[in-house]
Chains A and B, each alone.
Chain A
Amino acid sequence: MQERQRILSIRGLDISFQTTAGDVHAIRGVDMDLYKGETVAVVGESGSGKSVTMKAVMGILDRNSVINGGEILYTYMENGKEKTVDILKMDRKLIRHTINGRHIAMVFQDPMTSLDPTMSVGKQITEGMLLHEHVSRREAWKKAVSLLTLVGIPEPEKRMKNYPHQLSGGMRQRVVIAIALACDPDVLICDEPTTALDVTIQAKILELIKSVQKELGISVIYITHDLGVVAKVADFVNVMYAGNIVERGLINEIFYDPRHPYTWGLLSAMPDLDTNDSRLYAIPGSPPNLMHEKEGDAFAPRNIFALNIDDRVMPPMFKVTDTHYAATWLMHEKAPKVDMPPELKARIERMKKEAGQ
């Protein structure tokens, strides 16, 4: 493996939100790394804190948020020199001027709500360039046209004058991606980029992001709950539950050798085309309310493999391989040996066989 260059490193991130009903402790110590040119996926249910983590990276947290601790170190090149900053310590305005758009850009879930309906597509793409980079209107326009070509929109000159409502959902999402790429960012954060789209278009958008990534050499962070999407795009996976990362590893490690019971549940709950079991495996219960502090492992009440200790002490990250970690007491040397559910095991065997061919 080549020398990997770390761009983003999140350490011990801890965020809570003040609401009228009390404090919601949304992020409880998240560590995450992003290397140059790689793709990281953050998987989890809604409310697990995956979007909040990425909002913290962008410095666009809601006003009622309180950062209790941690750091987000971002390394970038400025005027040929390497520079490292802690995003959490920066002023909002400063982040807006120096980081957002220029270095870290974001693609949101719903292309209809993230585009401005009163501005033409061309104007929206050039807006960022005119603000951040000192370029002329004509240059910006030219670059916007080439971006539209890059994201696979036919007749880009004509589309520049269109308004968002004149485009289909897939085309709109392409425009959003073009806007995100306008200022040549190093990091692209995609927050559920395909959930609002149809399956056929979903595949095309993912392939597009992938090819753009290859061409420009940028790093991509995906936030998603769809493991199919993760399987398609990611190099590295972080599984989040209740504000913690419960398992992280290379994509093949997570899919072929999952260790955490929550990952087992997620993998088995998704029917693949060969599933013939009469019942789907479902994780019992529902995600915890983060308003209440809970001692021990947050997943324990839903975990059929939970041990006694899970109710008292939060499990640390146990090392499986150099790249694969899981936060479950089942990995402890003194824990009883528990195997993943047999259906999942059969499925993984089948997947391995398919992959081997």
Chain B
Amino acid sequence: MSEKTPLLQVKNLKQHFRISRSFTVKAVDGVSFEIYPGETYGLVGESGSGKSTIGRTVIRLYDPTDGSISFDGQDIGGRMNRDTEHHLRTGMQMIFQDPMACLNPRIKVSDIIAQGLDIHHLCKTQKERNLKISEILEQVGLAPEHADRYPHQFSGGQRQRVGIARALIMRPKLIIADECISALDVSIQAQVVNLMKDIQQNTGCAYLFIAHDLSMVKYISDRIGVLHMGHLVETGAKDEIFRNPIHPYTQSLLSAIPHPNPVVEKRRVAMSYDYREFGVDYTKGTEHLVEGSHRVLATDEEYANWTA
């Protein structure tokens, strides 16, 4: 893996929101990770841990406070010139959580999907545009005649497919999926996840998969990052994390996953984790390499304790 160049490299990213003169929310406080072409990187953490903020900063919906983001060889962390902006907007796309809220109810699905093409003037003729739309619709499992409908005429799962089609039509190298299956029913979730996997196989795009459902993240991701209070406490290949979780927060997350097995589930007691109780100060920790790409944020002393 190491000889490959990362598609997205995030180094020491900080995103602070200043609420008032004396109070700043440090939503993301020094996070580094990288995503390689064609892989899926899963970000997990509780609500308020900053996982959505990372996604939104990477696609530059926010201006990062500090740190560098490089995407496909170009720096996109600071002020961007026209070319870089174009490079970012066409190469990276996002799928949002709530499929009803992220689709404009007043325009047709065909126009929603083609919006990216229109903005970047990627289609010369109307015919080419229509062709692309019907191609994409087919790819996400919708029929071409759905193009003339409005979002409210679709069910939840179909709407999410429209959201995926909108991201896909730009042929992006990286898709940021921000809790894109959390709002769907269990049976529909599986459909959408399968679709995302198929698309990855066919187009070779990479995913930044943001979720709080660990069993789904384990299923779809190649590598996982565990986020807590704006710090990436543990990251690594999914087997490394699941086989050998080191950080107590990761351990408590893993212990909290519900198993669909009544006898086991009734016996299970979830571990609790309170960083104040544990006396863990994230700002003091440094990254320790465990094995391969498996890294943990800890002070030397904590690291010795946890691995002992």
- Give A residues with C-beta under 8 Å from B: 45-46, 169, 198-204, 207, 225-232, 234, 251-252, 255, 265-267, 269-273, 275, 278-284, 286-287, 351, 354-355
Contact = CB atoms under 8 A, between A and B. Distances in A.
13 contacts: A199-B46, A202-B258, A203-B258, A227-B186, A231-B259, A232-B258, A232-B265, A232-B266, A282-B194, A351-B260, A354-B264, A355-B261, A355-B264
A203 B270 contact: yes
Interface of B: 46-47, 155-158, 185-191, 193-194, 197, 212-216, 218-219, 242, 252-253, 255-266, 268-270, 272-273
A169 B48 CA distance: 11
B149 to A, nearest CB: 15
Contacts, number: 129
Interface of B is mostly: helix
B160 to A, nearest CB: 11
A203 B197 CA distance: 29
A198 B259 CA distance: 16
Interface of A is mostly: helix
Contact of B187 (A229, A232, A251, A266): A266
Contact of A202 (B255, B256, B264, B273): B256
Contacts of A231: 258-262, 265-266
A265 B219 CA distance: 17
Contacts of A229: 258
Contacts of B266: 231-232
B230 to A, nearest CB: 15
Nearest to A201: B46
A50 B272 CA distance: 32
Nearest to A195: B182
B265 A265 contact: no
Contacts of B186: 45, 225-227, 266, 269-270
Closest 9 CB pairs of A and B: A228-B258, A355-B263, A203-B270, A282-B190, A198-B46, A231-B265, A269-B190, A283-B187, A271-B219
Contacts of B197: 278-279
Contacts of A282: 187, 190-191, 194
A49 B252 CA distance: 34
A202 B262 CA distance: 17
Contacts of B185: 45-46, 225, 287
A199 B218 contact: no
A34 B91 CA distance: 55
Contact of B214 (A199, A279, A286): A199
Contacts of A354: 261, 263-264
Contact of B212 (A199, A225, A287): A199
